[in-house]
Structure 1
Amino acid sequence: MFLKRGFAVSLVFVFVTVFAFDFPGISFASGNENTVLVLYSKTIEEQMKDIRILETMVGQFKNDYKMMEDEEADQANLNDYEYVIYLGAGKKTLSHHMKSAIDDYKGAFYAIGHNAEQFKERLPWLDVRGEALVNQVALPKNDLVQDLSEDRIVYEVSADDAEVSGFGYKADGSGSLPLVVNAEDDYYFSGQNLYNPFGEVVTESFRLFLNDGSKGTVKYLRLEDVHPMADPELLREQAEYLKKENIPYMVAVIPVYENKDKIVHLSDSPKLVDTLRYMQENGASIIMHGYKHQYRSSETGEGFEFWDAENDRPIYQPAKDKAKQRSDFSTAEEYDEFVKKGEKYEKGYMENAIRSGVEELVAHDLYPIAFEAPHYAISQQGYRIVSKHFSSYVGQLQLTDSTWQSEYAPMHESKPDFLHGMILYPETLGYIEQGDAKAMEKLNAKIETGSKYSQSYLSAFYHPYLGLDGLKEVVKSLNEVNGDWLDLKQKDNLVQVKDIRIQTKDGGYQVEKPFLASDYERNLFIKKSLIWAIPLVLFILPAASLLVIRRRE
């Protein structure tokens, strides 16, 4: 780890940053022409969830894809693309131009969900007969049968002269039916939504459709909710264990603890700071997990920060203000104006939190290299704001602004457009819930299922207050699976806040910052200086007095 200084180095770094990462708004986008066109149909805003899921799924394979609503299809020449994917998120009658464009398309085609029966010329082998309920999915080639958390509606189809690679088992126990079918380069998935495990099944079929032969399992572990009131000795014990096991990991740090009138900064917890530095130097990657991890009156770690959970909407107002509802406005125009002002407030609120969080961590020589929103809850504007400062995002994704309870994690790292250049490192396994006697059993079941897919992340988070024994169980379960542990420091990460730039490559840090990069760091420096100065003054004054007395004698 090292600190670069000097005008010449700064100039070179700025040049590289601008051209390699395209600040503001860090971007790792490919300069290639788009190879994948994703067309979609929707009838209500709620269906954006499936559209975003599909975008996240495609982002696992391609950076150079384009999203387009069916009504815009006449503006595109489909034959400019190597692959076309169509998602019928809602039922609708497609235009003659849309259907003709699909029929005349020369490349590989994949239809999902509703409206596939309208592509009769393109998919003559597909017969949609009605609907059915399924409670299990199966991928025979993966030796995988997976239960659904609830019955799901699918189209009951037959596909003569087509291959069936995925099946659904009917909820009434009357047998199986096709889920994924294809004839040569044309595919169809009969499910009517894409939430996992449907999304996982489609992702597996995308590997054949997109000619991607990548295989392998990536494992990662994240220690969660480490704030200034965390127990440094408990944390050190777990850090030493992970070092001994040679396991790279992440630690999600919240720089400020707040509960009612109690506010604690990292500067108030020097032993914790020492432990976090030890972790950073011995396998850990620091993740910024919000600034305070709370919004209204909730305690840090329990509350949300970038989402108003009480009203299930973005942060439109200061926490102490009474939340205004649509009913408080006499016209839609007045409410729209309130929302517009609210979005402006949210932007300033988030920018301040991100800047303050990075500044306070860096002041303690702790270098965050990725961002994780508290409870994974954040607005679509929030992703744009975060992307201006972080190139890497950890966890799961909130799909729309209609509710925070619409989160999704793909099977592998992904770069969907709505992350504005950030790479997602997904969390797929959940966590060990305190007091749940079957927590490890549930985790092991998820690990067993995830490991049967061709390429997947097996990633979990663990709360350090649960102790070392529980952590050992999680590590033991993950170690039983063949795969590589993710060391996020080995990835190319970039963080920028004002005059602070943090970059990682091949496991090393490159940090650029002024000597005192923030008011917080300046106050910390003064505080440390006084701690050293007071004993020195107390020693010098008596010594000087004694010397004067002796000279007078």
Structure 2
Amino acid sequence: MRKKQLLIWGLFCIVLLVLPFHISASETDKTIIIYSYEEEESLREIRILDSVIGQFTQDFLVIADTEVKKEDLLDVSHLIYVGADKVQIPENVLEAITGFNGKFFAVGHNIEQLKGHFTWINVDDEVLSGYVEIPNNDYTITLSEERIIYQLAEGTYSTIANTYNDTNSSEKFPLIAYHENEYYFTGQSLFSPFGEVLAEGLYHFYSNKEASHIRYLRLEDVHPLMDAKVLREQAEYLKEKNIPYMVAVIPVYTDGDRTIHFSDSKELTETLRYMQKNGASILLHGYRHQYRSSETGEGFEFWDVENNRPIYQAADEPAKLLEDFPSKEAYEQFVKEGEAFEEAYIEDAVLKGVQELVAHRIYPLAFEAPHYTMSQNGYQILSQYFTTYVGRLQLTDLFWESSYSPLYKSTPAFLHGMTVYPETIGFIEADVEDSLQQMQANIEVLQLFNQVYIAGFYHPYLGLEGLKEVVESLESIPNASWLDLKAEDNKVEINDIRIESKDGEIEVSKPFFASTYERKVFFDENLIYFGLAGIILIILISSIVVKIRKRTKVNR
């Protein structure tokens, strides 16, 4: 009996120890983001939030209010509502929200409709915002243009960020206010820097996250016409500094009738392999980095910039526009066929790009779209082959200029499983005198945020001295670590080629010849050895024949 009592008591103690862990874990297990919108353009706001939320959790659902079912909120610990436009929220959504008792974050319009929640909020009016301050950071961000926010009446809430419109005025308005488990972002747009400030609110909302400052450097637009000596000099400098970095590689250079592959530049491929061995992680930066007649590095490969739309046709075909079709239905059929063309076009570019780099024993771990432009359909296609994306994100198919970069690595739903490593501080522009100073100013601002990638890129053709200035600027960041992409989990898989990285090591699985290009490279690189082997074989056979003939004569 005593043994039985001890056993029961022991089991009870175990339950007491385990139960709090499960309760704590469930608090951040699942998030649902419900959004209301009217205009397609407003979907940009949703994708900004999507890219921001992906840095805090990967267990989340993004869903329009018209698609919500009551069971969608079961087992949800965090609810985020985004009013991208002023609309009437469906009654069934309001009923489901009313019964929600987890953490709740509301953004933008329609806060007054969320009955049963946010009773501590009274909206007085709309006001203009010109400056944002985050009290904990003791820093003010000047907006490039005024933004409209909702003005809250005084109440029992606390604030994470405030805003005001006149530096001479003492009147401040909450940008992020919270009371107990409810948070409200009063802004009506999430474009920079509001999205970054929202991330600070979410850092508070997901209170189990640790502060982290990570820096990375990327060498950009390395193509077969790159000066190998210039690149090697920079690679040796970065090796000496023991700095991990990325290299965005374009396998083919083209300009008019001229086309150059890495097979035409042995010294450059040797340099890239040296870099890969000594701190560099390779990115596939498109295949040609151009679409129509533009030079490699200047053109847009995965976006028809002349017509501001996805790649729907071959580059040498006259562009078909809406006005060229007899009806809207006929144009929609063209777009449908165009999306199928885009899929084949992207697959071909990615396949050739990976095959050609692999043929030279250069192994890409991630993808970066030229000029950061790619359609939403393009991201879905790309996600079939890459788990990792680097750079900024295009938010809509309406216009390519609408891009966004989250502050931290993230896994947005619209990347279909890919993780984005953002670029946040810009780059050195050859014809802009103060571009380094602008990068340094961006670094100063970004250090104020809790979770942030302080990341930029550099064009190697600008020389070693400029690179040193960028590196020194990044090294000046206190308590920041360097990102080594090879140490992250990355996977590239297309046809019979599989490339994986983890803990700093790269594993490659492929056939001996993964492409006709690789077969040609192999025989070209080993032609001299085949020639020598042939000569030796001929000499050997000749000597054997001579000996046989001599023996024959002796026997006679």
TM-score by length of 1: 0.91
- Which residue number corresponds to residue 337 of structure 1? 333
> 1:118: Cα distance to partner?
2.0
Unaligned runs of 5+ in 1: 1-30
1:399 maps to 2:395: yes
In 1, Cα distance between equivalents of 2:323 and 2:295: 29
1:374-413 counterparts in 2 under 5 A?
Answer: 374-413=370-409
2:82–2:106 Cα contact (<8 Å) kept: yes
- Which residue number corresponds to residue 496 of structure 1? 493
* Counterpart code for 1:529: N
Deviations 1:282-336, CA, capped at 9 Å, x for gaps? 0000000011100000000000111111111110000000000000001111101
1:79–1:106 Cα contact (<8 Å) kept: no
In 2, Cα distance between equivalents of 1:118 and 1:302: 49
> 1:487: Cα distance to partner?
0.3
SS at match of 1:126: coil
- Which residue number corresponds to residue 320 of structure 1? 316
In 1, Cα distance between equivalents of 2:166 and 2:75: 42
In 1, Cα distance between equivalents of 2:126 and 2:346: 45
> 1:150: Cα distance to partner?
1.4
Unaligned runs of 5+ in 2: 1-25, 551-556
1:446 maps to 2:442: yes
Task: Select which of 266, 271, 278 maps to 2:267.
Answer: 271
1:511 maps to 2:517: no
2:28–2:78 Cα contact (<8 Å) kept: no
Which one has the largest radius of gyration?
2
> 1:528: Cα distance to partner?
2.4
Q: Which gives a bigger RCO, structure 1 or 2 (Cα 8 Å, sep 6+)?
A: 1
> 1:33: Cα distance to partner?
10
* Counterpart code for 2:269: V
In 2, Cα distance between equivalents of 1:33 and 1:319: 48
1:168 maps to 2:163: yes
- Which residue number corresponds to residue 295 of structure 2? 299
> 1:144: Cα distance to partner?
2.2
1:79–1:107 Cα contact (<8 Å) kept: no
In 2, Cα distance between equivalents of 1:285 and 1:416: 23
1:219–1:459 Cα contact (<8 Å) kept: yes
1:475 maps to 2:454: no
Between Structure 1 and Structure 2, how many residues are aligned?
Answer: 523
- Which residue number corresponds to residue 7 of structure 2? none
In 1, Cα distance between equivalents of 2:355 and 2:109: 49
SS at match of 1:280: helix
> Could you say if the C-alpha distance between residues 239 and 148 of structure 1 is closer, same or farther in structure 2, counting changes exceeding 3 Å?
same
In 2, Cα distance between equivalents of 1:196 and 1:307: 23
- Which residue number corresponds to residue 108 of structure 2? 113
SS at match of 1:521: helix
1:461 maps to 2:457: yes
CA RMSD after TM alignment: 2.2
* Counterpart code for 2:263: S
SS at match of 2:440: helix
In 1, Cα distance between equivalents of 2:72 and 2:383: 31
* Counterpart code for 1:140: P
In 1, Cα distance between equivalents of 2:89 and 2:489: 43
Q: Using the TM superposition, name which of 324-333 and 65-74 deviates more.
A: 65-74
> 1:130: Cα distance to partner?
1.7
> 1:57: Cα distance to partner?
1.0
> Could you say if the C-alpha distance between residues 542 and 512 of structure 1 is closer, same or farther in structure 2, counting changes exceeding 3 Å?
closer
2:28–2:206 Cα contact (<8 Å) kept: no
1:529 maps to 2:520: no
TM-score by length of 2: 0.90
2:94–2:115 Cα contact (<8 Å) kept: no
> 1:96: Cα distance to partner?
3.3
Task: Select which of 73, 86, 100 maps to 2:81.
Answer: 86
> 1:540: Cα distance to partner?
7.5
Task: Select which of 329, 352, 369 maps to 1:356.
Answer: 352
* Counterpart code for 2:397: D
1:44 maps to 2:70: no
